Amino acid sequence: IAGITQAPTSQILAAGRRMTLRCTQDMRHNAMYWYRQDLGLGLRLIHYSNTAGTTGKGEVPDGYSVSRANTDDFPLTLASAVPSQTSVYFCASSPAGGGKGLDEQFFGPGTRLTVL
Partner 1 sequence: GQNIDQPTEMTATEGAIVQINCTYQTSGFNGLFWYQQHAGEAPTFLSYNVLDGLEEKGRFSSFLSRSKGYSYLLLKELQMKDSASYLCAALNSNYQLIWGAGTKLIIKP
Residues in contact with partner 1 by CB under 8 A are: 40-45, 48, 58-59, 90, 97-99, 101-110
Q: How far is the CB of 2 from partner 1 (least distance, A)?
A: 15
Q: Which of residues 73 and 103 has its CB atom nearest to partner 1 in the complex? A: 103
Q: How far is residue 37 CA from its own chain's centroid?
A: 11
User: The dihedral of CA 32, 38, 42, 44: what is its sign?
Assistant: negative
E strand spans, 38-86: 44-49, 56-57, 64-66, 76-78
Nearer to partner 1, 71 or 89 (CB): 89
CB of 16 to partner 1, least distance (A): 29
DSSP state of 73: B
* Shortest Å, Cβ 58 to partner 1: 7
